[in-house]
Structure 1
Amino acid sequence: MSQSTESTESTPDWEKRFRAPRVSLPDWAEDAPDRSLYVSNVTGTFELYAWDRSTGEKRQVTDRPNGTTDGTLTPDGEWIWWFSDTDGDEFGVWRRQPFADALVGQDQPAAPGIEPAYPAGLALGRDGTAVIGRSTDEDGTTIHVVRPGGEPSVVYRHRESAGVGDLSRDGTLLAIEHTEHGDAMHSALRVLRLDGSVVAELDDTEGGEKELGLEVLGFAPVAGDARLLVGHQRRGRWEPAIWDPVAGEFTDLRLDLPGDVSAEWCPDGSALLVVHMYQARSELWRYDLAAGELTRLETPPGTVGGASARPDGTVEFLWSSAAEPPVVRNTRDEVVLQAPGMLPPASVPVEDAWVEGPGGTVHALVQRPAGTGPFPTVFEIHGGPTWHDSDAFAAGPAAWVDHGFAVVRVNYRGSTGYGREWTDALKHRVGLIELEDIAAVREWAVSSGLADPARLVLSGGSWGGYLTLLGLGTQPEDWTLGLAAVPVADYVTAYHDEMEALKAMDRTLLGGTPEEVPERFAASSPLTYVDRVKAPVYISAGVNDPRCPIRQVENYVHRLEERAHPHEVYRYDAGHGSLVVEERIKQLRLELDFALRHLGPPRQG
């Protein structure tokens, strides 16, 4: 037996799930569908890869110490654009390289004259025109048009957050999402010509409706067709509609599906590929526009992490479940793309728990280890906050199950996927609302015999890390241990140090700035309650994080140190998380070690 085989066989399953090579759903050039771009961790770091489907050739496009995931193809497939930041700080510029006959590192500035910034969308035209959205703390959002060989021109600028939506196929119309009305959770739409003149507006926040948002789903893929596919929330959930900004027509599609519905155009513009998310699982449909008919496309129960309709009539999709690792398949039941090497070990399926909470029924996803409970239990809290956990494969929760822990994931108020009112309930009492729902699920987990009340871990990353620290201080008797990754720890300092788009979101959530509503920021800040924390605390943070900056984490840690409270801190050289596989394994290993030292090994059932 070779040394490499011995090493692989001795590696625990939880590490194999991180190390196993994986691929994203491949993007493809609209006018050259054989040219694709995808993300893979096959080298141990997530990077971009080009794939020529006509020859089968695959090559690595980027190679950076902290990884690269943000890239796209020009419509003709001749160029790859990718975003270059510094050590994960998300502040940088677009670069490009030819699709063919290029090597890693043979890049050039994609838009000379555009200064570094946080990205706010990108749209590439067929004539070489680029529309580039940028966000800075000084200027807010700026959108530039860059013509081939010309100087960048500004077509939009505003202090509030905005972003590039899409460019029409003929390159004459630009759709943007903006929040000029001051509500960063709910965008309005504007269609511009490339000289900046306004064609039409669509704003569902007018007339006193402050909690109705819109999103750009894409222009029709037909030359001369001005129809824009949009998402709206007029009936309390996300649904698609078709808006013609030139003709002034709005066509409500009214698809008979109970959950959130998103869509994209099929390549000939005659139909839509529909993704339906309901109760933490998703499915695919095809909607024929002329006939007004929905047809189900068969996928296994679980989560579709992305889907794309191809010109040959097939649909490619990235699918997984909590038990089964992700795979890129198509509607011919073929594996489309698979990274070389070992497959990640499977995990255990999730069970659904529906718990009555103070704001309505809370949906939680539960994974149980072997044996009988009560189990030490990790409440793994998702980030966002406007996001949700689904029946999808996740290496982190699977690792805790392997170590004998039950894992509970809670789609608290503020989560997406359960209607507009559930998401928009997250205002003014930020953090405290989510923790009320988590507390209700915690009580159910203990009373049902699932969770050992003496060994309850509150854990999460980003917004989940924030809720972890806030929960340890506001519910100190409920939790035995806390694990917070890249958290908001001191809300006031975080606000002043974070990127401008997140400041706008915080002003929306809390109703103003720290100077305008200091009592709300104080009530929602973990730092306010740090002296009440009883459980040992583990914190990990990226020193280049623009979302949950390091200074506010250090403020919280300093207060723990003053109290001589049991805690450990791990600082790493990256941004809001890491794209390096071994770094991810290291971080989870440190969390596991911390938990097992303080809780002891799980009891055998």
Structure 2
Amino acid sequence: MTDPTETKTVPDWERRFRAPRVSLPEWAWDAPGRGLFVSNATGTYELYAWDRESGHRRQVTDRANGTTDGTLTADGAWVWWFSDTDGDEFGVWMRQPFHGGEDEPAVPGLAPGYSAGLALGRDGTAVIGRSTDEVGTTVHVLRPGGEPVEIYRHRESAGVGDLSHDGLLIALEHTEHGDAMHAALRVVRPDGSTVAELDDTAGGTRELGLSVLGFAPVDGDTRLLVGHQRRGRWEPMIWDVATGTETDLGLDLPGDVSAEWYPDGSGLLIVHDFEARSELWRYDIARREPVRLDTPPGSVSGATARPDGTVEYLWSSAARPSAVRSTTGGVVLDAPGEKAPDSVAVEDVWVDGPGGRIHALVQRPAGVTGPLPTVFDIHGGPTWHDSDAFAAGPAAWVDHGYAVVRVNYRGSTGYGREWTDALKHRVGLIELEDVAAVREWAVASGLADPARLVLTGGSWGGYLTLLGLGTQPDAWAVGVAAVPVADYVTAYHDEMEALKAMDRTLFGGSPEEVPERFRASSPLTYVDEVRAPVYISAGVNDPRCPIRQVENYVDRLAARGAVHEVYRYDAGHGSLVVEERIKQVRLELDFVARQLPPARSEEAAAE
């Protein structure tokens, strides 16, 4: 237990990272009293089994670099979890009895690969998706007591969507047409024979995607809940794979809409994301009627309908830490220990940009007026968006006196299909046009000190940071890039196969086919233009933004004597170890503090 006297000496920003937190619990379909969740209670994110009837919680996994990918069998007897090596995402499925015991291979005889989805049936059948650089994507079916049988193989990326309640149908998402951003659907039998196809990329447009949301939870029911983009946004419909009937829900909600089935199949739990916030609805299928569920303003990052009709959801806001709540009121699951300190609320800003209105979220230290040193914290993805949700990283910058601006640039989700798809072919450059427009607003409004602007981000945000430092060298005082793409051509050749497919979609081909596009979008192309000091952190086992291409960029910085620091750590695409993450943030804060020029008022005081 933490000593209260010690707590007072630990800064709030570190306490936010260390505070125990939990994910939304998954529950076993035929044993809803058994749950599985992720927590950092030991200082590393690991899987925990939860017996809801007794209240007992048990740590399932215990690995140096953490574990977050796991699920329960339908009867709740087993926990399946994905075992990779030091965060490289390449591995095999293991399993462990729910109440404890030895780990064992869940799919004996199946070689390691990158996970491409998993579906577990009520009769013990497992459908396993995997991908490798050599083969592409394969899907295997494992029957109880049998050997894994391959039922699907293709060079392009694909994944397991769901297995029907009776185990007779398998839904796959695939990109055999070559567009990794817009999947088509295929429903097959366990022997691999095709039952039905749904493809919104047909006709050569290749602009509309589909996603599997789940089969109806009733034996013999052939309805599949599907996400589609036919009206310029993500929304659900019901597709009967036996008859081909498609049922539109008629939801008149702006923004993106997702859904899952209520356990009796009579209704849908709707998650509605709009302008960086979310809300929940219950949709009665027979009445075609949505009813709003009462949730606080903020963001719902996961929700599930329970057999008794209640809904549990993981909620937070920028000011308030996350909690697993229920529509019955109160907190369902909480990690023991000190709670994370609150942070400050976000302000919404809309800025006119070259591609339309840009939404940005702004946080500033309480009681402080500008111009302030300002951090532009750029989200990863790129198919993601910043929201009014609790985040320890931005809160750390605010605690240290910085304003934080987060931009949902073109390429972000939640603002319609055209906004998400807009970055094709001018990859990186389009996003940075939007960042530049918001930067101009921040300076003109008096929020930001133009001499003390920090560009930072992780993954795709790290990529945009390095690209921005080279293409906008006079705009930024310091750059901080975590697990970035730095040399796009080398990154393409070293990254996992699924990301190569995504890059071919974004650029319209490989580096050999469209070299000019890769050259125009690669940070390495502009490294000699970088003027700002640069801090880079990278995982040596990262399969998404591999270390070799980062080293190429760093070597070029070193060759010209540019001010830079590099931190390499033994993990993959980020770290699941709390103290390691705190160390990384501390190094970033220290680097920026040493490099930023003082404010004019500080200069005057010194004189």
Q: TM-score range by the shorter chain?
A: over 0.9
Q: 1:514 aligns with which of 503, 511, 521?
A: 511
Give the C-alpha shift of residue 601 in structure 1: 6.5
2:116, 2:159 within 8 Å by CA — same for their partners in 1?
yes
Q: Which amino acid in the other structure matches residue 256 of structure 1?
A: D
The 3-state SS of whatever aligns with 1:262 is strand
1:187, 1:215 within 8 Å by CA — same for their partners in 2?
yes
Q: 1:275 aligns with which of 271, 278, 289?
A: 271
1:137, 1:499 within 8 Å by CA — same for their partners in 2?
yes
- Residue number in structure 2 paired with 1:97: 96
1:429 aligns with 2:426: yes
The 3-state SS of whatever aligns with 2:320 is coil
- Residue number in structure 2 paired with 1:559: 556
- Residue number in structure 2 paired with 1:86: 85
Deviation sequence 1:62-117 (CA, Å, 0-9, x none): 000000000000011111000000000000000001112x14xx200000011000
The 3-state SS of whatever aligns with 1:72 is strand
Q: 1:441 aligns with which of 426, 438, 441?
A: 438
Give the C-alpha shift of residue 6 in structure 1: 2.0
Give the C-alpha shift of residue 524 in structure 1: 0.3
Q: Which amino acid in the other structure matches residue 281 of structure 1?
A: R
User: How many residue pairs get matched?
Assistant: 601
- Residue number in structure 1 paired with 2:568: 571
Q: Which amino acid in the other structure matches residue 441 of structure 2?
A: W
1:232 aligns with 2:231: no
Q: 2:320 aligns with which of 321, 324, 336?
A: 324
- Between stretches 367-376 and 277-286, larger displacement belongs to 367-376
| Aligned counterparts of 1:203 and 1:238: Cα–Cα separation in 2 | 15
Deviation sequence 1:328-350 (CA, Å, 0-9, x none): 00001121000000000000000
1:251 aligns with 2:241: no
- Residue number in structure 1 paired with 2:456: 459
| Aligned counterparts of 1:308 and 1:124: Cα–Cα separation in 2 | 18
| Aligned counterparts of 2:205 and 2:212: Cα–Cα separation in 1 | 19
- Residue number in structure 2 paired with 1:158: 154
Give the C-alpha shift of residue 599 in structure 1: 1.3
1:67, 1:579 within 8 Å by CA — same for their partners in 2?
yes
| Aligned counterparts of 1:230 and 1:250: Cα–Cα separation in 2 | 10
- Residue number in structure 2 paired with 1:201: 197
2:299, 2:387 within 8 Å by CA — same for their partners in 1?
yes
Give the C-alpha shift of residue 57 in structure 1: 0.5
Give the C-alpha shift of residue 208 in structure 1: 2.7
Segments of 4+ moved more than 6 angstroms: 601-605
**CA shift in 2, pair 1:246/1:537, >3 Å:** same
1:543 aligns with 2:540: yes
Give the C-alpha shift of residue 254 in structure 1: 1.8
Q: Residues 464-475 of structure 1: matches in 2 within 5 Å?
A: 464-475=461-472
Deviation sequence 1:284-328 (CA, Å, 0-9, x none): 000000011110001111000100000011100000000000010
Q: Name the TM-score, length of structure 2 as normaliser.
A: 0.98
| Aligned counterparts of 2:260 and 2:423: Cα–Cα separation in 1 | 29
1:131 aligns with 2:147: no
Q: Residues 342-353 of structure 1: matches in 2 within 5 Å?
A: 342-353=338-349
Q: Residues 26-175 of structure 1: matches in 2 within 5 Å?
A: 26-100=25-99, 102-103=100-101, 106-175=102-171
- Residue number in structure 2 paired with 1:498: 495
Give the C-alpha shift of residue 416 in structure 1: 0.2
2:451, 2:597 within 8 Å by CA — same for their partners in 1?
no
1:599 aligns with 2:596: yes
- Residue number in structure 2 paired with 1:265: 261
1:404, 1:602 within 8 Å by CA — same for their partners in 2?
no
Give the C-alpha shift of residue 394 in structure 1: 0.2
- Residue number in structure 2 paired with 1:334: 330
- Residue number in structure 1 paired with 2:605: none
The 3-state SS of whatever aligns with 1:436 is helix
Give percent identity, aligned residues only. 79
| Aligned counterparts of 1:239 and 1:11: Cα–Cα separation in 2 | 45
The 3-state SS of whatever aligns with 2:3 is helix
- Between stretches 242-251 and 63-72, larger displacement belongs to 242-251
1:278, 1:417 within 8 Å by CA — same for their partners in 2?
yes
| Aligned counterparts of 2:86 and 2:599: Cα–Cα separation in 1 | 38
The 3-state SS of whatever aligns with 1:10 is coil
Q: Which amino acid in the other structure matches residue 221 of structure 1?
A: P
Deviation sequence 1:339-388 (CA, Å, 0-9, x none): 00000000000000100000000000000113110100000000000000
Deviation sequence 1:388-409 (CA, Å, 0-9, x none): 0000000000000000000000
| Aligned counterparts of 2:281 and 2:411: Cα–Cα separation in 1 | 27
**CA shift in 2, pair 1:269/1:593, >3 Å:** same
| Aligned counterparts of 2:535 and 2:443: Cα–Cα separation in 1 | 23
| Aligned counterparts of 1:347 and 1:63: Cα–Cα separation in 2 | 31
Deviation sequence 1:431-474 (CA, Å, 0-9, x none): 00000000000000000000000000000000000000000000
Deviation sequence 1:556-584 (CA, Å, 0-9, x none): 00000000100000000000000000000
1:403, 1:602 within 8 Å by CA — same for their partners in 2?
no
Q: Which amino acid in the other structure matches residue 470 of structure 2?
A: G
Give the C-alpha shift of residue 5 in structure 1: 2.3
Q: Name the TM-score, length of structure 1 as normaliser.
A: 0.98
Give the C-alpha shift of residue 4 in structure 1: 2.5
1:239, 1:254 within 8 Å by CA — same for their partners in 2?
no
2:452, 2:597 within 8 Å by CA — same for their partners in 1?
no
The 3-state SS of whatever aligns with 2:559 is helix
2:172, 2:187 within 8 Å by CA — same for their partners in 1?
yes
| Aligned counterparts of 1:434 and 1:180: Cα–Cα separation in 2 | 28
The 3-state SS of whatever aligns with 1:443 is helix
| Aligned counterparts of 1:329 and 1:197: Cα–Cα separation in 2 | 42
**CA shift in 2, pair 1:3/1:55, >3 Å:** closer
Deviation sequence 1:204-237 (CA, Å, 0-9, x none): 0002331100000000000110100000000000
Q: Which runs of 5+ in 1 are unaligned?
A: none
The 3-state SS of whatever aligns with 2:8 is helix
- Between stretches 573-582 and 362-371, larger displacement belongs to 362-371
Q: Which runs of 5+ in 2 are unaligned?
A: 603-607
